[in-house]
Amino acid sequence: MANETQYAINQKIKHFPQPVVKNSVFSFLSHLTRFPINNVSDLERFLQEVVNETSQLVKAEKVTLTFPKSIRYSNVISSKSTNSKENNLSISLPLITQEDGVILGFLTVDKERGKIITQKEMALLKAISQLAALKIQNAVLQQVIYQGIIETLKVLVNVVEAKDVYTRFHSQRVAQYATSIAEVMGLPQADKDVLKIASLLHDIGKLVIPDNILLKPESLTPEEFEVIKYHPLVGDEILAPLRFFQKERIIIRHHHERWDGSGYPDGLFGEAIPFLARIMAVADCFDAMTSDRIYRKAMSFENAFKKIKSLANIKYDPEVVRAFEFFLGRQYGIKI
Ligand SMILES: [Fe+2]
């Protein structure tokens, strides 16, 4: 009986045409989004969650599966068990999109040779694979929407940066510094991703600042500076309706807060300032100091960092400054 069932499954699997099998979820994603997917690790984490969740379903249904040692995702049919015992086999169920029948990958379960797969178990596995396919497809669609919004927002940031040659590419450099600090501090990938997007968008609120203030070559009057101080609030408001960017909003709102409470817009003090915003404050100021401005020349990396270090515990979180010092030493050999 077991052999017959396995034979039947193998026969079914053999009928999937090879080019379709190659159409893994990653290439499917790349195709849909029309650019290489660079957050494969995120996607894999997501898939692992799907697999965990669907495995929970097995328990919830109170059907005891006699064979699975594990349920896992793979983008090819797996014929080898992850279990080292040679007498184990695995079966793969395709994850097929409902509308167009594209195979997104396979849910693979291990089975001991000689164990019978009951009809009920098979039906359950089929239900699980359908659910997983639906979840993957939803994730793909969300990813497409998310990337579309990011690209649109980046265009708006480019509009701000294009007005002033001196601030061109500022946001990208801030993103590099901020994510490097996060890496030194051992923050999880999710925080680095949030920091990257927040950095790219942090000055989006400058869209509403009049050019005569934004591009003024001389020092700003106190009144003009009050206008500049609106930009974190405006950035926060621009992102407010977009449910994807709630964490980024917090960083954008608070990237001008200062450790001693002298910053804006809310005058937050010390650890009341969101941690990722403290990282971005250092990255933002360092890039501003080391870039030419219409009213002054760029400082050297050494002098800019000396200045930042002298303001640790005053304007900046000392732990963040220490991490940045480590990064600058490792990356540029800067020793202060
Ligand atoms: Fe800013």
Between the CA of 145 and the centroid of ligand 1 the distance, in Å, is 26
Ligand 1 centroid–CA 229 distance in Å is 8
Ligand 1 centre distance from Cα of residue 245 (Å): 17
Q: Are 124 and 64 in contact, with CB atoms under 8 Å apart? A: no
Q: Strand, helix or coil at 89?
A: strand
CA of 325 to the centre of ligand 1 (A): 22
Cβ 106 vs Cβ 94: under 8 Å: yes
Contact 320, 183 (CB under 8 A): no
Which residues are in the CB-under-5-Å shell of ion ligand 1?
203
Task: Examine the domain organization and report whether 204 and 80 are in the same domain.
Answer: no
- Whether pTM > 0.75 for this model: the answer is no
Report the C-alpha gap between 43 and 212 in whole angstroms.
45
What are the φ and ψ backbone dihedral angles of 298, each rounded to 5 degrees? -70, 145
73 and 181 together in one domain: no
Q: Give me ligand 1 centre to Cα 222, in Å.
A: 17
Q: Report the separation in Å between the CA atom of 179 and the middle of ligand 1, taken as the mean of its atom positions.
A: 17
175 CB-side CA count, 13 A: 16
Structure tokens at 305: 């960092």
Distance, CA 314 to ligand 1 centroid (Å)?
19
105, β-bridge pairs: 95
Ligand 1 center to 336 CA (angstroms): 27
Same domain (yes/no): 190, 320: yes
Residue 199 lies in a domain: yes
Which residue matches tokens 């349920």? 71
Ligand 1 geometric centre to CA of 249 (Å): 13
Residues 229, 256: contact at Cβ < 8 Å?
yes
Evaluated on CA atoms 131, 135, 141, 142, the torsion sign reads positive
Task: Examine the domain organization and report whether 125 and 183 are in the same domain.
Answer: no
pLDDT tens profile 131-157: 777 877 777 777 778 888 888 888 888
Residue pair 57/128 in contact by the 8 Å Cβ criterion: yes
Note whether 137 and 168 are same-domain residues: no
Do residues 302 and 218 both lie within one domain? yes
- d(CA 256, ligand 1 centre) in Å: 6
Q: Answer whether residue 150 is part of any domain.
A: no
Structure tokens at 144: 């497409």
What separation in Å is there between the alpha carbon of 286 and the centre of ligand 1?
12
Q: How far apart are CA 104 and CA 29, in angstroms?
A: 9
**Length of the chain (residues):** 336
Residue 280 phi/psi, 5-degree rounding, is -65, -30
Q: How many domains does the chain have?
A: 2
Ligand 1 centroid to residue 298 C-alpha, Å: 18
- DSSP per-residue codes, 126-150: HHHHHHHHHHHHHHHHHHHHHHHHH
Question: Is 148 part of any domain?
Answer: no
154 belongs to a structural domain: no
Q: Is residue 179 part of a domain?
A: yes
Q: How far is the CA of 327 from the centre of ligand 1 (A)?
A: 23
The residue among 69, 51, 66 whose CA lies nearest residue 106 is 51
107, 195: one domain: no
Cα of 37 to ligand 1 centre, how many Å?
Answer: 29
| Domain CATH for 207 | 1.10.3210.10
Assess whether 231 and 94 both reside in one domain.
no
- Which amino acid would we find at residue 36? P
Please tell me whether residues 127 and 7 are part of one structural domain.
yes
Is residue 226 domain-resident? yes
CA distance linking residue 107 with residue 191, whole number of Å: 29
Kindly give the distance from the C-alpha atom of residue 326 to the centroid of ligand 1, in angstroms, as a whole number. 24
From ligand 1's centre to the CA of 230, what distance in Å?
Answer: 10
Q: Which domain holds residue 68?
A: 2-141
User: Closest by alpha carbon to 179, among 330, 282, 263?
Assistant: 282
Based on the domain organization, do 124 and 25 belong to the same domain?
yes
Comparing C-alpha atoms, which of 262, 268, 270 is closest to residue 250? 268
pLDDT at 122: 73
In 130-162, which positions are buried (b, 16+ CB within 10 angstroms) versus exposed (e)? bbbbebbbebbeebeeeeeebeebbeebeebbe
CA 17 to chain centre: 34
Residue 171 alpha carbon to ligand 1 centre in Å: 10
How close is the Cα of 329 to the center of ligand 1, in Å? 26
Tell me how far the alpha carbon of residue 333 lies from the centroid of ligand 1, in angstroms. 28
User: Do both 124 and 172 map to the same domain?
Assistant: no
CA 202 – ligand 1 centroid, Å: 6
Torsion sign (Cα): 144, 135, 201, 289: negative
Q: Is residue 26 part of a domain?
A: yes
Q: Quote the CA–CA distance of 128 and 21 in Å, as a whole number.
A: 19
Going from the Cα of 186 to the center of ligand 1, the distance in angstroms, rounded, reads 25
Looking at the structure, do residues 101 and 195 belong to the same domain, yes or no? no
* pLDDT value, residue 31: 43
Q: Is 155 helix (H, G, I), strand (E, B) or coil?
A: helix
How remote is the CA of residue 15 from the centroid of ligand 1, in Å? Answer: 58
**In a domain? residue 156:** no
Centre of ligand 1 from the C-alpha of residue 109, in Å = 51
Which residues of the chain fall below pLDDT 50?
Answer: 1-3, 5-40, 64, 66-69, 81-84, 86
β-bridge mates for residue 64, sequence order: none
